[in-house]
Amino acid sequence: AHPNWSMGKKISVDSATMMNKALEIIEAHYLFNMPPEKIEVLVHPQSVVHSMVHYKDGSVLAQMGASDMRTPIAHALAWPERIDTPGQKLDLAKIGKLSFEVPDTVRFPALGAAYECLESGPFACVALNAANEVAVEAFLTKNIGFLDIMDCIDHILHKTKGVKLGSIDDVIEYDLAIRAETKAFISGGLTKKRVLAS
């Protein structure tokens, strides 16, 4: 589902680039031991279906709720129990119909980047997240344009080499190194071009 609720600035940018979905592809792979080719993203303008699972018998189980992230979060945190949550309750009759479409991966290259990172390994997934956080911050502070975000991330991903991340300390050290490299690229190497934050 594409968010229809109020978000912070960083998450709003990640939603616009679909990096939020790219990171969810990576999360689904690691949390559920799911092969990347079995993970799909759909654009769902009503933001009612938060996730779906296709079973081998052809049935589909969907987690649905009002356009409010408190519902799926409460569902995940309380499982297998159920807890009361504040906010609107889902009224399917009022919504009328649900629609889904395949995202445009040319317009939203973050999705393809997520699958490439999963093929490369955990180090690339760390690099994707770190470079994105730095690039989005640079956009929000008007140092780069919106379309520069993915250019910056692509540059960093193509420069990264396979690194074994055997501990949380390794992950933190690598994350910090990628952040520093991304900042340096933005300061000196990125040809800044387009659409500054307003």
Mean pLDDT of the chain: 90
Identity of the residue numbered 58 = G
Residue 189 pLDDT: 66
Report the DSSP pairing between strands 60-64 and 49-54.
antiparallel
pTM of the model as a whole? 0.86
Q: What is the CA radius of gyration of the chain?
A: 18
The model's confidence at residue 6, banded by pLDDT at 50, 70 and 90, is: low
Q: For the chain, list the domains and their CATH numbers.
A: 9-95 (no CATH), 109-189 (1.10.1740.10)
Contact between 174 and 123 under an 8 Å Cβ cutoff? The reply is yes
Residue 74 pLDDT: 86
**pLDDT tens per residue, range 46-100:** 989 989 999 999 999 999 988 887 888 888 889 899 988 887 888 999 999 999 9
Q: What is the mean pLDDT of residues 117-135?
A: 98
The model's confidence at residue 170, banded by pLDDT at 50, 70 and 90, is: very high
Residue 79 pLDDT: 87
Q: Containing H/E element for 90? A: none
Identity of the residue numbered 63 = Q
Q: What is the mean pLDDT of residues 94-115?
A: 96
Residue with the larger pLDDT of the pair 89 and 192: 89
